[in-house]
Amino acid sequence: MERYESAKEQYGKIGVDVEKAMEILKTVPISIHCWQGDDVTGFENAGEALTGGIQATGNYPGKARSPEELMADLDLALSLIPGRKKINLHASYAIFEGAKADRDALKPEHFKGWVEYAKSRGVGLDFNPTYFSHPKAADGLTLSHPDPEIRAFWVRHGIASRRIAAYFAAELGEECVCNSWIPDGYKDIPADRLGPRLRLKDSLDQIFAEKLPGVIDCVESKVFGIGVEAYTVGSSEFYLSYAASHPGVYNLLDNGHYHPTEVVSDKIPALLAFFDKLPLHVTRPMRWDSDHVVLLEDELKEIAREIVRCDGLDKVKIGLDYFDASINRIAAWVVGTRNMQKALLSALLEPAGQFRALQDEGDFTRLMAEREALKLYPFGDVWEEYCGREKVPGEGAWFAQVMQYEKDILSKRG
């Protein structure tokens, strides 16, 4: 408390209202990806390999093997994360009571269990069609497949998924982000780069034809994946152009999906100049799209600063997307989600208006000096206070609970 009062005074002297920052922070939802809990396996066919050029590496014990286990693990994570939360589901996490439905026949009823979960925990839901880890995606092609029957199957999956997202929105009274990422691409130099993109465009037009209230439709681009190194159908230019020419479809930015010196922090204000919504997948690429747990690093802080500076807290839909199977998966959720929130808090504790004025006045010397001074301000004391007010443990205090759960529950899973 004393430390917080002192921090409040220090920030107050540079015109930053820490109380207001905490009030804002607790209203910003973070969409927590369910797939960190089971290495992107899903519940359809235990043992089906993860395909599509993405990989979860590691074999840390205790991964969730059923909806019950995943929900129990999420419960612990949710209890250790402050603020508003949503759970981000993939279609492969359908809960079947009795007969299974294939991807193109998925229905809202297969996600009833998740709606009940979300309602009882007071969290929101987001959704993703799953265009990978399926026999009809075995050759790595889905919505751009040259075979019209395979394409039609995946178009039906896209349509079914959007209806599930609309069901979530209606049930929970909150917009549902429905994000389409497809693995389609070629390992070696293609003989035709346009054909697959025209087929993808046509498939997307069919999928998005139906107007569905409450659904935020998104498309996610990528540079390359494992096994599809030469060419990705859904490239950045393709989807950005698609979103720009299709009102109501948004371009999702995953910060693991660009060339190494490109940064998503710079893309945020570029897109916010044109789009009223901007979905994100926040991850941590290590040499490639490795999806390591999000740490409190410079680019994460810069992403958060751009969201705050652009007055984008309502427009930017923050989702997480990483999957590390080499560490305790609940700790992975807790660390990554809290880091996203810490980055937002640190952005909210900037005298942004003053900095902007210094830039406009051309006083770059003072701007540099003041920003460097701010780096040593006691931001951690405000974070601790925030955790206390949100009734979650502070840094260093949550870890013991995760270890106890590992001992009692995770270590007993086969």
Which residues are known catalytic residues?
A: 181, 220, 222, 254, 257, 281, 289, 291, 321
As measured in angstroms, the least distance from the Cβ of 54 to ligand RNT is: 5
For Zn ion, which residue of 321, 324, 381, 385 counts as binding (CB under 5 A)?
321
Beta carbon of residue 93, minimum distance to ligand RNT (angstroms, whole number): 11
From the list Zn ion, ligand RNT, none, which binds 128 (C-beta under 5 to 8 Å, kind-based)?
ligand RNT
381 binds Zn ion (CB under 5 A): no
Q: Strand, helix or coil at 143?
A: coil
Nearest distance in Å: CB 377, ligand RNT: 34
Question: Which one of the spans 8-16, 112-120, 189-197, 251-259 is the region binding Zn ion (CB under 5 A)?
Answer: 251-259
- Give the shortest CB-355-to-ligand RNT separation in angstroms: 32
CB 342 within 8 A of CB 383: yes
**Closer to ligand RNT by Cβ: residue 115 or 178:** 178
Could you say which of ligand RNT, Zn ion, none residue 43 binds, taking C-beta under 5 to 8 angstroms by partner kind?
A: none
Smaller CB distance to ligand RNT: residue 62 or 183? Answer: 183
How does strand 288-292 pair with strand 284-286? Answer: antiparallel
Minimum CB distance to ligand RNT, residue 32 (Å): 13
254 binds Zn ion (CB under 5 A): yes
Q: Of 134 and 257, which CB lies nearer to Zn ion in the complex structure?
A: 257
Residues 19-48 that bind Zn ion (CB under 5 A): none
Point out which span in 119-127, 223-231, 279-287, 326-334 binds Zn ion (CB under 5 A): 279-287
Round to the nearest angstrom and report the end-to-end CA distance of the chain. 44
CA distance 166 to 211: 10
Length of the chain: 414
Helix axes 399-408, 67-79, angle to 10 degrees: 160
Q: Please say which residue, 254 or 350, places its beta carbon nearer to Zn ion.
A: 254
Indicate whether 384 belongs to the interface with Zn ion (CB under 5 A).
no
Q: Between 51 and 203, name the residue whose CB sits nearer to ligand RNT.
A: 51
**Which residue type sits at 163?**
R
* Residue 145's binding partner out of Zn ion, ligand RNT, none, with CB under 5 to 8 Å set by partner kind: none
Angle between helix 329-348 and helix 379-389 axes, rounded to 10 deg: 120
User: Which residues have CB under 8 Å from 209's CB, separation 6+?
Assistant: none
- Part of the chain binding Zn ion (CB under 5 A), chosen from 198-206, 277-285, 294-302, 303-311: 277-285
The entry of Zn ion, ligand RNT, none near residue 222 (CB within 5 to 8 angstroms by kind) is: ligand RNT
Beta-carbon contacts of residue 223 (< 8 Å; ≥ 6 apart): 232, 235, 236, 257, 258, 259, 289
- Binding residues vs ligand RNT (CB under 6 A): 35, 40, 54, 128, 181, 220, 222, 254, 281, 289, 321
Q: Which 8-state DSSP code applies to residue 63?
A: -
CA 294/CA 333 separation, integer angstroms: 9
| Beta-carbon-side half-sphere exposure of residue 110 (alpha carbons within 13 Å) | 26
Closest contact distance (angstroms) between CB of 289 and ligand RNT is 6
> Closest separation between CB of residue 129 and ligand RNT, Å?
9
Closest CA to 104 of 212, 251, 203, 37: 203
Supply φ then ψ for residue 341, to 5 degrees. -70, -35
State which amino acid sits at residue 337: T
What six digits make up the tokens of 330? 């609940």
Closer residue to ligand RNT (CB): 35 or 383: 35
Q: 């508003």: which residue's tokens?
A: 84
Nearest residue to ligand RNT, scored by beta-carbon proximity: 181
CA distances from 109 to 82, 106, 122, 132, 405 (A): 30, 8, 20, 22, 31
Q: Which of 134, 162, 281, 329 binds Zn ion (CB under 5 A)?
A: 281
Residues near Zn ion (CB under 5 A):
254, 281, 321
